C-alpha cells in the first residue's frame, strides 16, 4: 500500500509543478511582450524624437508633404472626444450600475440586462462605426442645422456619442460589482434611521463606492483614448485643432491607422510611431492609476 | 480575478499597438516561403489588386506557376522590395529619386495598366458638371464656397446650381489616389503646388476625410452639396456620376477607360517614370496614372536562382501582353501600344548577372 501512495503523490507533485511552471511562463511571456512593445516603439521613435524634439507635442501643423509633424491637433482631438464621451456616459453608467447593483441584483431581469451590457463590449468597433455613419450622422446633421452650425454630421460630437456607448460596459462592470459589495449593515442602519431608498443611494452607497466608481470611469477612459476604427469613421479626419464640439477633428489612434500603411520616409514613419508610444504611455498610466484605486478600495 | 481585470486593458492596448508593426513581421514570414517554394512572391499597391489577382490566377492555370501577391500598399511594396524579401514590388506612383537612391541596387519600373481619378458630386438630379483645372483647384483650396458661384455657373450654363455650401470630402488614409489627384492639382495650380503640394497624405486646406474609396463615396452620398474624388474603377462599379474635366488641349473630357488610355499617348520617357496627369494628349482624361511592377535590374541577388529570375521576368512579360485583355474587363485602362513597346524594352534590359533573360 505504502509504495503505491508515494507513487501517486509523486504524480500529483509532478502535475502540480508542471501546472505552476506553465502558469508562471505564460505570465512572464505577457510581461515580456509588453516590455518588448514598449522598447520597439521607443527605439523606432528615436529618429522623430531627435528631429522634432518637444515640438512634436505643441506644433499645430501635420504636413507629411513638407515633413512637418505636430501632434497637437490629434492630442486635443483625442482628449476632447475621450472626456466628452466620459461626460456623456457617466450618468448612464452610474444609473445602470445602481440599477443592477442595488435594485435588481438577481433574477431574470438582472441577468438579461447584465448580458446585454456585456454584449455591448463584444460588438466589433467597425459595426459601431457603420451604425454611427448611417443612423447617428443624419440625426446629428439635423441637430446641427437647427443649431445653425455647419452640418457636417461627422465630428467630435458624433464620435463622442459613439465612444460613450462603447465604453459604457467597461465602467458598468466594475461599478456594478462595487455597488453590490456595499455591506448590508450600513444600508440597514440607514433604513432603521428612517432613510428612504433614494437617501440610502445618495448618502450611503455613492459616498462608500466613489473611488470604485472613479476607477471604473478611468478604465473606460483608457478604452476611449485608444479606440480607433469607429472614431476614424465618424470624426471627419481633419488635421486642424477642433474649434468646437461640432467641428471635425482627428485622434492619435485614428491618424496612425489612416497613415501608417502608406507612410514613407524615416521621420514620417517615426513620428507616427512616436504618437503610438505616447498613446501607449497615456493608456498605461491611466490603467495603473485605475488599478491602484481599485486596490485601495478593495483592501 | 483582480489580476486579470487590470492586465486585460493593458494587453488590449498592447496588441492594438503591436498590430501597427505588421509590416515587419510579414517580412520575415515571406523570406521563408520565398526560399521553400517555387512560386513567385510580390507585394504592393492595393489599387490594381483585382487586376493582378485575375491575371495571376489565369497565369497559374496556364503555366502552373503560382504567384502570391499581397496587396499591402505601395509604400509597403517598395519597402519589401528594398529589403529583398519579394520577387517584385508594385506601386501606383513611380519611385522618387530619393527612394531609388536608398535602394540597394537599380530598380526598373514596368507599367501594367492605367488608373484614373474621377470627381464626383452630390447635387440634386446628379448633373454632369464641367470643371476647368482652375475652378477645381479653387474648390479644393476652399476658395469657391458655394455651388452657385459664378465661376462654376459660367462653365455649366445648362445646369441649375443650388445655393448650397460646397463640402469637400477627401481620403483620410494615405493613398495613391490622393497622390495622383494632388499631383494633378499641383500641376494646374501654383497655389496648390505651394501649399498642400502632392503626396499620399496631405495637410488639406478644407474638407472632411473618409477612409478608402468606399468611405469617401459613402460620405458624399450622405452629404448634400459635397464633392470628392474616387478611383475610376470604383466609380464604374458603383455607377457614380463623374464630372468632365478640361484637359491641357482645351477639351472637356469624361473619365472612361478609353480616355484614360489616351492620356498615355504622349512622348514617354525610356524609364517610364512619368506622371500622366494633365498630359498634352488631345482626347486624354487629365487625372490618370500608370501603375507599376518593380524589379531589380540585376536579378542575381540573395542566392536567387536563374530559374526564379527568369520566371519573374516571364510573368511580368505576360502581364504587359496577354494579361492586358483582362484589364478592361475589370475596369482598368489597358496600356496603349507605345507604352507596351517601351515596357518591353525595359524588361529586355533586366539581367541575371551578365545574361539577359528575355
Of B99, B174, B204, the CB nearest to A263: B174
Q: Is the pLDDT of residue A59 over 70?
A: yes
- Percent pLDDT > 70 in chain A is 95
Q: From the list A64, A138, A150, which residue is nearest B199 (CB)? A: A64
Question: Average per-residue pLDDT in chain A?
Answer: 90
Q: Which of B88, B128, B74 is CA-nearest to residue B315?
A: B88
Interface membership of B195 toward A (CB under 8 Å): no
Nine-digit cell at A183? 455591506
Parallel/antiparallel/unpaired status of strands B288-296 and B88-91: antiparallel
Q: What is the pLDDT of residue B14?
A: 45
- The predicted structure's pLDDT at residue B36: 39
> Is B74 an 8 Å CB contact of chain A?
yes
**Residue A140: C-alpha distances to residues A133, A135, A155, B239 (Å):** 10, 9, 9, 28
pLDDT for the residue numbered A35: 95
Q: What value does the mean pLDDT take over residues A20-41?
A: 95
- Residue-level pLDDT at A263: 84
Instruction: Return d(Cα B191, Cα A159) in angstroms, integer.
Output: 33
Which chain A residue is nearest to residue B12, measuring alpha carbons?
Answer: A223
Give A287 to chain B, closest Cα distance, Å. Answer: 7
Strands B167-171 and B107-121: unpaired
Are the C-beta atoms of residues B277 and B289 closer than 8 Å to each other?
Answer: yes
Q: Do A226 and B16 touch (CB under 8 A)?
A: yes
Contact A152/B198, CB-based, under 8 Å? no
CB B91 within 8 A of CB B291: yes
> In chain A, what residues touch B2 (CB-CB under 8 Å)?
294-295, 298
Question: Which residue is closest to B5 within chain A, CA to CA?
Answer: A291
Mutation pick from A65, A215, A295 vs chain B, by most beta carbons of B within 10 Å, is A65
Which residue in the set B6, B75, B167 is minimally distant from A264, CB to CB? B75
Mean pLDDT to the nearest integer, A176-203: 92
A164–chain B Cβ distance below 8 A for any pair: no
Q: Quick one: average pLDDT of A139-159?
A: 91
Q: What per-residue confidence (pLDDT) applies to B128?
A: 93
Residue in chain A lying closest to B169 (CA): A236
Find residues 78-107 of chain A whose CB sits inside 8 Å of chain B: none
Residue A293's pLDDT band (cuts 50, 70, 90): confident
Give the residue from chain B lying closest to A274, CA to CA.
Answer: B17
For residue B233, the distance in angstroms to the closest alpha carbon of chain A comes to 20
A-B Cβ pairs (cutoff 8 Å, strict)? 140
Nearest CA distance, A107 vs chain B (angstrom): 24
Q: Is the pLDDT of residue A265 over 90?
A: no
Beta-carbon contacts of residue B61 (< 8 Å; ≥ 6 apart): none
* B197/A152 CB distance under 8 A: no
Q: Residue A33 above 60 pLDDT?
A: yes
Mean pLDDT split into 10-residue runs, chain B, 358 residues: 45 44 40 54 91 94 93 88 94 88 93 94 93 96 94 93 93 91 95 92 93 91 93 90 94 94 91 92 94 94 89 94 92 92 93 84
Among candidates A64, A153, A287 on the partner chain, residue whose Cβ is nearest the Cβ of B223: A153
Write down all domains in chain B, each with its CATH number in brackets: 7-113+289-356 (3.40.190.10), 116-262 (3.40.190.10)
CA distance A10 to chain B (A): 30
Is there a contact between A66 and B203 if contact means CB atoms under 8 Å apart?
yes
Task: State how far the Cα of A41 lies from the Cα of A47, in Å rounded to an integer.
Answer: 11
- What pLDDT does residue A157 have? 95
Asked if residue A6 has pLDDT above 80, the reply is no
> Residues B258-288: pLDDT tens digits?
999 999 999 999 899 999 999 999 999 999 9
User: What is the percent of chain A where pLDDT is above 90?
Assistant: 66
Q: Evaluate the CA torsion angle B294, B299, B305, B311 in order and state its sign.
A: positive
Q: Is the pLDDT of residue A150 over 90?
A: no
- Return the residue of B nearest to A174 by Cα: B5
Q: How far apart are CA B7 and CA B18, in angstroms?
A: 16
Interface-testing mutation among A258, A279, A292, with chain B (most B C-beta atoms within 10 A) = A258
Amino acid A270: pLDDT:
94
* Chain B interface test: which of A29, A138, A220, A264 (most B C-beta within 10 Å): A264
Q: Which B residues in the span 198-227 are in contact with A, Cβ-Cβ below 8 Å?
A: 198-204, 207-211, 215, 218-219, 222-223
> What does pTM read for this prediction?
0.83
Cell of A35: 516590455
The rounded distance, in Å, linking the Cα atoms of A81 and A233 is 14
A242 touches chain B (CB under 8 A): no
| pLDDT at position B354 | 84
Given pLDDT bands bounded at 50, 70 and 90, which one contains residue A10?
low
Amino acid at each position: 500500500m505504502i509504495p503505491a501512495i508515494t507513487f501517486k503523490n509523486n504524480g500529483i507533485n509532478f502535475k502540480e509543478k508542471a501546472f505552476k511552471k506553465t502558469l508562471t511562463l505564460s505570465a512572464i511571456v505577457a510581461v515580456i511582450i509588453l516590455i518588448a512593445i514598449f522598447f520597439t516603439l521607443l527605439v523606432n521613435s528615436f529618429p522623430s524624437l531627435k528631429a522634432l524634439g518637444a515640438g512634436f507635442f505643441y506644433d499645430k501643423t501635420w504636413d507629411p508633404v513638407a515633413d512637418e509633424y505636430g501632434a497637437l491637433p490629434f492630442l486635443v482631438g483625442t482628449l476632447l472626444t475621450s472626456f466628452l464621451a466620459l461626460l456623456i456616459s457617466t450618468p448612464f453608467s452610474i444609473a445602470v450600475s445602481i440599477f443592477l447593483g442595488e435594485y435588481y441584483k438577481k433574477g431574470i431581469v438582472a441577468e438579461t440586462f447584465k448580458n446585454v451590457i456585456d454584449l455591448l463590449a463584444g460588438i466589433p468597433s467597425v459595426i459601431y462605426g457603420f451604425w454611427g455613419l448611417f443612423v447617428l450622422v443624419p440625426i446629428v446633421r439635423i441637430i446641427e442645422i437647427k443649431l445653425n452650425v455647419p452640418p457636417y454630421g461627422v465630428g467630435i460630437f458624433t464620435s463622442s456619442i459613439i465612444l460613450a456607448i462603447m465604453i459604457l460596459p467597461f465602467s458598468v462592470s466594475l461599478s456594478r460589482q462595487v455597488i453590490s459589495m456595499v455591506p448590508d449593515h450600513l444600508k440597514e442602519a440607514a433604513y432603521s434611521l428612517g432613510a428612504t431608498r433614494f437617501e440610502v443611494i445618495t448618502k450611503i452607497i455613492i459616498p462608500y463606492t466613489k473611488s470604485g466608481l472613479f476607477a471604473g470611469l478611468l478604465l473606460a477612459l483608457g478604452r476611449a483614448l485608444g479606440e480607433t476604427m469607429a472614431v476614424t469613421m465618424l470624426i471627419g479626419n481633419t488635421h486642424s485643432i477642433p474649434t468646437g464640439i461640432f467641428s471635425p477633428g482627428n485622434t492619435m489612434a485614428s491618424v496612425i491607422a489612416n497613415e501608417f500603411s502608406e507612410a514613407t520616409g524615416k521621420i514620417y514613419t517615426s513620428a507616427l510611431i512616436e504618437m503610438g508610444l505616447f498613446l501607449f504611455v497615456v493608456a498605461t498610466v491611466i490603467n495603473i492609476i485605475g488599478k491602484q484605486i481599485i486596490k485601495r478600495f478593495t483592501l | 480575478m483582480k489580476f486579470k481585470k487590470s492586465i486585460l486593458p493593458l494587453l488590449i492596448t498592447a496588441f492594438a499597438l503591436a498590430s501597427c508593426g505588421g509590416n515587419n513581421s510579414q517580412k520575415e514570414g515571406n523570406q521563408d516561403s520565398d526560399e521553400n517554394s517555387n512560386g513567385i512572391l510580390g507585394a504592393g499597391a492595393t489599387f490594381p489588386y483585382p487586376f493582378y489577382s485575375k491575371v495571376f490566377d489565369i497565369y497559374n492555370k496556364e503555366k502552373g506557376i503560382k504567384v502570391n501577391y499581397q496587396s499591402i500598399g505601395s509604400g509597403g511594396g517598395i519597402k519589401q522590395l528594398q529589403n529583398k524579401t519579394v520577387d517584385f514590388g508594385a506601386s501606383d506612383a513611380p519611385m522618387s529619386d530619393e527612394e531609388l537612391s536608398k535602394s540597394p541596387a537599380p530598380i526598373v519600373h514596368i507599367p501594367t495598366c492605367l488608373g484614373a481619378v474621377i470627381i464626383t458630386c452630390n447635387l440634386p438630379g446628379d448633373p454632369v458638371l464641367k470643371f476647368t483645372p482652375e475652378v477645381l483647384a479653387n474648390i479644393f483650396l476652399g476658395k469657391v464656397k458655394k455651388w452657385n458661384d459664378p465661376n462654376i455657373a459660367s462653365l455649366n450654363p445648362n445646369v441649375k446650381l443650388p445655393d448650397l455650401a460646397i463640402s469637400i470630402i477627401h481620403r483620410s488614409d494615405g493613398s495613391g489616389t490622393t497622390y495622383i489627384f494632388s499631383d494633378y492639382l499641383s500641376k494646374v495650380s501654383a497655389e496648390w503646388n505651394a501649399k498642400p503640394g502632392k503626396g499620399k497624405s496631405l495637410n488639406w486646406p478644407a474638407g472632411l476625410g473618409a477612409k478608402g474609396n468606399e468611405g469617401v463615396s459613402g460620405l458624399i452620398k450622405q452629404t448634400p452639396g459635397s464633392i470628392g474624388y474616387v478611383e475610376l474603377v470604383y466609380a464604374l462599379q458603383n455607377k457614380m456620376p463623374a464630372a468632365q474635366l478640361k484637359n491641357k488641349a482645351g477639351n472637356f473630357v469624361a473619365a472612361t477607360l478609353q480616355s484614360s488610355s489616351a492620356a498615355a499617348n504622349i512622348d514617354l520617357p525610356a524609364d517610364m517614370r512619368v506622371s500622366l496627369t494633365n498630359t498634352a494628349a488631345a482626347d486624354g482624361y487629365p487625372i490618370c496614372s500608370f501603375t507599376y511592377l518593380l524589379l531589380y535590374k540585376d536579378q542575381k541577388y540573395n542566392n536567387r536562382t536563374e530559374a526564379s529570375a527568369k520566371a519573374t521576368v516571364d510573368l511580368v512579360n505576360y502581364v504587359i501582353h496577354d494579361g492586358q485583355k483582362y484589364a478592361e474587363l475589370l475596369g482598368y485602362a489597358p496600356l496603349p501600344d507605345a507604352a507596351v513597346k517601351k515596357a518591353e524594352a525595359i524588361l529586355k534590359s533586366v539581367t541575371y548577372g551578365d545574361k539577359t533573360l528575355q
